[in-house]
């Protein structure tokens, strides 16, 4: 702005006159500096916007603003002496669904130093969960939006967290606890009381719509921020979303080199592909929203990553292996004919289009401890672990719950009751079919009636121990 010549000329005269008449001198000015620190991540917070306002009149008084540098440091010059209030804003606060504290600041001729901080994880956990936070329980804080470019907050959706537990005592007990929460009108959710050291499955549902299932690794007293997106457009079959997303990227080994032949797939989907000579992969026709992508290669520990698939657009995600597996000496593989026969019988049964089928790839992705863990996601099947180490498997029949027929490699187990985890191990299963009620083939009705059947084909073939 161009200054007035008259004003510039008269300014020194006005100051001299004020001094001669005994008018009060201008207030002393100083600088206010400090640091912004993220106590939840144990690191300085760069790019925070710091605001300093007069305490007596925060809305109408003087205000100052600046931004923290890469070390979290900031400084505001030319602040008149007086009492102020300081606070800051950063996207990290939105991730954790909290507001920064307001810190009182007294400025004199020497200035003042201020420490502004994101609270520690235990404090944030207590802010969201109160007594439910516990001493070491983990907390997941998140936000759910639509999967389109508008990213509209989704309210009244259900957020699910599930994990696997083993308890050791007189007997080993196994369970898969589940905690749920509802999103508020702004799309925010909080899951309290999660296990201190575990990996959980996390997903969101709203009526018929669902996100993919992503893995979240927890630590004692950790507060994890998650952003989820869900496709809510148009009526579809339960659990399905639009399938017009495209994902591409590059797979690299531990040295950053493109990895040819790595298998890349979407968790819970049939979409899979192999990386080319340049490590490049591409998947099309993918469900929209938050999904989990996994990469596997011989000699490497599998890696997975959450990704938001956009509708009608290409999403890019590079996958990097960060560790290798122990390479075992070569062994001679026998029994391939038996395994092939089991797969042919399994695929022939699946081609009839009746029943629920679990193939070898699904088993490897779920990585169950016991075969009964695979049955938890099958509709109409109930896995009761209340009896301790042995799990009771029942299905919903025409006259209530009943015990289905168990068939392993053609051998019938009509009175197996709760022995499925003793009969076969997950690593031995080539495929599994679950039939309930009237969909049960006549082949398995003579002994099992209308209760259904669980049919298992193993990789070893032959008979199992009774």
DSSP letter at 9 equals H
Contact 455, 375 (CB under 8 A): no
What span, in angstroms and rounded, lies between the C-alpha atoms of 148 and 164?
33
Q: Which two tokens stand for residue 16?
A: 């001299």
Q: Which two tokens stand for residue 295?
A: 């990469």
What span, in angstroms and rounded, lies between the C-alpha atoms of 431 and 343?
7
Q: Which helix (H) or strand (E) holds 121?
A: helix 121-129
Contact 40, 119 (CB under 8 A): yes
Q: How many CB atoms lie within 10 A of CB 240?
A: 13
What span, in angstroms and rounded, lies between the C-alpha atoms of 123 and 119?
6
Q: Which residues contact 330 (CB under 8 A, 6 or more apart)?
A: none
* Size of the chain, expressed as the number of residues it contains: 466
What span, in angstroms and rounded, lies between the C-alpha atoms of 63 and 65?
7
What span, in angstroms and rounded, lies between the C-alpha atoms of 167 and 173?
5
Measure the CA angle with vertex 193, ends 190 and 194; round to 5°: 90
Measure the CA angle with vertex 105, ends 99 and 107; round to 5°: 150
pLDDT at residue 172, as a whole number = 61
Query: pTM here?
Result: 0.62
Q: Which helix (H) or strand (E) holds 85?
A: strand 82-89
Q: Which of 207, 209, 266 shows the shortest CA–CA distance to 241?
A: 209
Q: How many CB atoms lie within 10 A of CB 199?
A: 12
What span, in angstroms and rounded, lies between the C-alpha atoms of 59 and 101?
17
Q: Which residues contact 455 (CB under 8 A, 6 or more apart)?
A: 349, 407, 432, 433, 434, 435, 444
pLDDT at residue 63, as a whole number = 93
What span, in angstroms and rounded, lies between the C-alpha atoms of 136 and 272?
38
What span, in angstroms and rounded, lies between the C-alpha atoms of 142 and 132?
17
**Which residues, given as ranges, of the chain have pLDDT below 50?**
1-25, 235, 237-239, 326-330, 333-338, 387-389, 448, 462-466
Instruction: Return the SS3 of 346.
Output: helix
Domains, the chain: 21-118 (2.60.40.10), 122-230 (2.60.40.1120), 245-320 (2.60.40.1120), 336-458 (2.170.130.10)
């Amino acid at each position: 702005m161009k200054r007035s010549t008259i004003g510039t000329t008269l300014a020194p005269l006005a100051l001299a006159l004020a001094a001669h008449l005994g008018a009060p001198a201008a207030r002393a000015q100083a600088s206010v500096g400090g640091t912004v620190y993220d106590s939840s991540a144990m690191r300085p917070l760069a790019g925070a916007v710091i605001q300093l306002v007069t305490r007596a009149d925060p809305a109408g008084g003087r205000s100052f603003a600046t931004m923290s540098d890469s070390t979290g440091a900031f400084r505001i010059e030319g602040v008149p002496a007086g009492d102020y209030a300081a606070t800051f804003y950063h996207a990290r606060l939105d991730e954790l669904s909290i507001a920064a504290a307001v810190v009182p600041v007294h400025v004199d001729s020497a200035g003042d130093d201020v420490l502004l901080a994101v609270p520690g994880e235990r404090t944030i956990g207590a802010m969201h969960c109160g007594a439910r936070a516990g001493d070491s329980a983990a907390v997941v804080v998140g936000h759910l939006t639509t999967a389109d470019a508008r990213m509209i907050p989704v309210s009244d959706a259900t957020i699910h967290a599930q994990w696997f537990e083993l308890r050791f005592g007189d007997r080993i007990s196994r369970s898969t606890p589940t905690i749920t929460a509802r999103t508020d009108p702004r799309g925010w959710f909080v899951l309290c009381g999660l296990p201190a050291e575990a990996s959980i499955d996390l997903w969101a549902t709203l009526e018929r719509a669902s996100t993919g299932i992503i893995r979240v690794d927890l630590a004692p007293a950790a507060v994890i921020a998650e952003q989820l997106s869900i496709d809510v457009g148009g009526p579809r079959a339960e659990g399905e979303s639009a399938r017009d997303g495209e994902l591409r990227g590059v797979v690299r080994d531990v040295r950053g080199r493109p990895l040819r032949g790595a298998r890349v797939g979407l968790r819970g989907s049939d979409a899979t592909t192999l990386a080319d000579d340049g490590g490049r992969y591409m998947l099309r026709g993918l469900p929209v929203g938050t999904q989990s992508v996994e990469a596997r290669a011989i000699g490497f520990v599998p890696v997975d990553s959450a990704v938001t698939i956009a509708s009608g657009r290409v999403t890019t995600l590079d996958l990097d292996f960060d560790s290798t597996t122990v390479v075992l000496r070569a062994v001679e593989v026998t029994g391939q004919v038996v395994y092939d026969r089991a797969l042919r019988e399994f695929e022939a049964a699946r081609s009839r289009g009746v029943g629920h089928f679990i193939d070898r790839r699904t088993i490897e992705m779920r990585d169950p401890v016991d075969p009964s863990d695979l049955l938890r996601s099958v509709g109409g099947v109930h896995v009761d672990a209340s009896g301790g180490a042995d799990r009771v498997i029942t299905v919903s029949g025409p006259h209530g719950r009943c015990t289905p027929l168990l068939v392993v490699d053609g051998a019938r187990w009509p009175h197996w009751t709760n022995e499925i985890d003793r009969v076969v191990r997950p690593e031995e299963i080539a495929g599994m079919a679950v039939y309930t009620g009237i969909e049960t083939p006549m082949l398995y009705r003579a002994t099992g009636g209308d209760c259904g059947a669980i049919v298992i084909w193993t990789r070893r073939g032959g008979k199992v121990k009774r």
